Chains A and B, each alone.
Chain A
Amino acid sequence: MSDNDQYLDMFFAEARDYIQMLNDNILQLEENPENKEVINSLFRAAHSLKGMSATMGFNTLTELTHKLENMMDKIRNGEIVVDTEIIDLLFAGIDHIENIVAQIKENGNEDIDIDGFLKQLEKQISVAKNRKPEEKEEKPAELGLELSSEEIENIRENKKELDTVYQIKVLLADETEFKQARASMIFKSASELGYIVKSEPKKEEIAEVELENNKIKIILVSSQTEEDIQAEIMNITDIKEVKIEEIKLPEKEEGDKKDSGESKNMTNSFEVSSTVRVDINKLDKLMNMIGELLINKTRLQALNIKSDGFKEVLPQLDRVTMDLHHTVMQIRMEPVGVMFNRFPRMIRDLAKEEGKEIDFIMKGKETELDRSIIDELGDPMTHLLRNAVDHGIEKPAEREEKGKDSEGTINLSAYQKGSEIIIEVKDDGSGINIDKVVQKALTKEVVSKNEIEEMDRHEKLQLLFEPGISTKEEVSDVSGRGVGMDVVKRTIASLDGEIFIESKADKGTKFRISLPLTLAIQEALMVKINDEIFAIPLNAISETLKIKTEEIKQVKGSDVIVLREKTIPLIDSRESLNLDIDYGQYKDKKEIPIVIVKSGAKEIGLIVDELLYQQEIVIKSLSNYLNNVPNISGATIIGDGEVALILDVRDIA
């Protein structure tokens, strides 16, 4: 293995950032083809990527990025006009970059045939070359030197109150013999008059470049008047003409400020700030170790040593462990934006492909979630959004017929609510056809006819999450990945999250996903069932109480209790765990301990043998060998070093 290996990881991480940046910028460019800042940022990203690839010796990637960089340069110089064709070409280029990077990651080579694409790029670039002269002709006359926003900022900072910014164009006489000497004299006298912000050719270059059209352009900040400058320069021999204009700096507006702020952000991400890139596996390891620490702390507590020193040190240990846990949790948090950022491009491509007009709005990108959750969430979110475009938003004509705006809207938002993170996907499309869902559920024998009759609208909608139910018959490119809503639900459930759906015909569909802030450690209530200790996550519990046998009522032959005028069904935990053949023992007890647990809108009373205590638990997987144990979501290790199982309340309810 070569020395390169240690740099490969860094290469992949940086490449990912640049690819994302390129995608973002091209999207912005499409919106706003004239925005110089975006083009510059685009150019810089391509350039950096090229540099990285060359250093790592990835030739195909270097060539590809080089060509793209060329193209961006042409765009920057106004030689290529940005239109849909160009945008598509740029996007295709980025896709190729992504593919090559993926290929390198997978098997270390970059054997991807991009010759066809390179030719396409070449064509565009050479077309631009042919177009060059005609455009050039009017350019120098009309446009002088352009100032970048950084340069404008620079001028603003250095300019004194009485200073004026001038654009000076000097034309040398055709027969001038010592052009370079003359040019340097011009620069010398200009720098005596004021401060040269920018020039063409650059001052350092006059010795090397031939003067094009005998012209020199200078942007000068000076306290002198136009006439004085004119006179001063005309003093130099062989000057044919001097044109001077005053340049008004653009007003420092709100919008302007925001723009440059944004561009600053972009450039900032290139800079090395005081952050460290850490492999997520190391963070996982750290989290595991903190879990171990917590378990051992709990065990230490359980020892209950009768000593003053022990009693003193324990709360300290407690505090440090908690701080450590929260800090690592913080470190593991990432803004959901890292996942959201890939969606605008995806929606754009899909909408274009399907001839739909979509306004995609993202909110709450800064909302933070545990990194491992974000990683898992990518696929289900992609699926929901694709569905929204594919099945949700109608074609423009159809929308107009319905009296809606021809442009559909998809909202993606994230926000924190208590200890949960909510992510919503909302579209104003056609809504879900409940009848079709029910029909499919019946043919697939997911439910019986009788069951359907018992169901309300909301329950029928939930059938969508059953395996094999998809409202569109034909498998399109979009949903053809074999992922259904059942997989979406399962993935979210595996993250200890929930998904809810609301839909109205012709009004649209809304998916709401709620997720825990972090996965690894949770508060739980410990209960005893059949002499074993079980943990119930606190976020699933609404309250605990003890009832008397007389309080148990019967509804349709099932036990219920009435709590604040609400009827809550009772479930014997022994029964849901298949622990004991002799259910209903609880009825002989004087007091029956009950945990009221909630899942979505549903509440049930879970009968347990004994309520024990509240504790922080470290959630462990229940071994891959025992997958999907009903009513059990995982395991944890309690004070005495034994394993306690975690009840899956949502499964029981």
Chain B
Amino acid sequence: MYNKDKKEKINNVNDKQYLTFKIANENYGLELTQAKEIIKPPKVTNVPNTEESIQGVINLRGQVIPVIDMITKLGLNEKEKEGYKNEKRIVVINIKEILIGLYVDNVKEVVKLSDNEIEDVQETKKGIRQEYIKGVSTTSDSLIIIIDLDNLLFSNKQKKKGA
């Protein structure tokens, strides 16, 4: 019985760690457990005949992994792609046993948030599709949009390049 109580206590704490990064001047976050590593972008090889948000593939220590351009994927304004030149990073995530790189503008920090600190979103000003967002946290000084990676990466794929 003692064990059970203890467990509940831990659950009550309910803190999860989030990795936060910037895409087109907004703060975004994803669960730290999903992130595998953060790398400086090597040369990305373009892959033809794939959807537009697929920036290409990179060599991650002998493994070929796809890199997703988050600005295109989230449907953000292309203009804001500029800037942050030297700060751009690829966040490598492990999802459904697949390694995928997310191309972001810069990586900020790791924050602890509890579930009740993340609010549901009614609408977003930037017009990001709502199913891509798990929630929004406003507790820290700035707003953090928590991305729903499952929906973002595995809901219906979009239009092909050059078509």
Contacts and interface: CB of A to CB of B under 8 A. Distances in A.
Interface of A: 288, 291-292, 295, 532, 577-579, 581, 620-626, 629-632, 635, 637, 641-645
A645 B44 CA distance: 12
B47 interface: yes
A626 B48 contact: no
B97 to A, nearest CB: 8
B153 interface: yes
Contact of B64 (A288, A532, A578, A623): A623
Nearest to B44: A643
Interface in B36-64: 42-43, 45-50, 54, 56-59, 62-64
A291 B57 contact: no
A626 B43 contact: no
A629 B45 contact: no
B63 A620 contact: yes
A255 B22 CA distance: 80
B98 interface: yes
Contacts of B45: 532, 635, 642-645
Contact of B47 (A581, A620, A621, A626): A626
B24 interface: no
A579 B45 CA distance: 13
A295 B160 CA distance: 31
B6 to A, nearest CB: 26
A620 B100 CA distance: 15
Nearest to B51: A626
B98 A625 contact: yes
A620 to B, nearest CB: 5
B127 interface: no
B98 A291 contact: no
Contacts of B66: 623, 625-626
State the majority secondary structure of interface residues on A: loop
A620 B57 CA distance: 12
27 contacts: A577-B49, A620-B64, A622-B47, A622-B64, A623-B57, A624-B97, A624-B98, A625-B100, A626-B54, A626-B57, A626-B66, A629-B47, A629-B49, A631-B48, A631-B49, A632-B47, A635-B45, A635-B57, A642-B43, A642-B45, A643-B45, A643-B57, A643-B64, A644-B45, A645-B45, A645-B47, A645-B48
Contacts of B50: 626, 629
Most buried by B among A625, A630, A642: A625
A644 B47 CA distance: 9
A291 B163 contact: no
B163 A578 contact: yes
List of 10 A-B pairs having minimum Cβ-Cβ separation, nearest first: A578-B162, A577-B48, A643-B45, A630-B49, A635-B64, A620-B64, A623-B66, A643-B57, A625-B66, A637-B59
A625 B47 contact: no
Contacts of A626: 47, 50, 54, 57, 66
Interface residues of B, number: 27
B129 interface: no
A295 B65 CA distance: 17
A624 B96 CA distance: 10
A519 to B, nearest CB: 15
Nearest to B63: A620
A534 B49 CA distance: 14
A219 B28 CA distance: 91
B49 A578 contact: yes
Q: Which of A622, A626, A641 has the most CB of B within 10 A?
A: A626
A597 B163 CA distance: 26
A151 to B, nearest CB: 58
A643 B161 CA distance: 19
Contacts of B65: 623
A623 B100 CA distance: 9
Contact of A642 (B59, B97, B162): B59
A635 B64 CA distance: 7
B153 A295 contact: no
Contacts of B58: 643
Contacts of B46: 532
Contacts of A581: 162
A292 B62 contact: yes
B69 to A, nearest CB: 14
A578 B100 CA distance: 24
Contact of A579 (B48, B54, B62, B63): B48
A626 B54 CA distance: 9
B7 to A, nearest CB: 24
B49 A632 contact: yes
Contact of B153 (A579, A625, A629): A625
Contacts of B100: 623, 625
Given A295-B62, A625-B66, A642 B42 contact: yes
A581 B48 CA distance: 13
Contacts of B97: 624
B153 A578 contact: no
Contacts of A292: 62
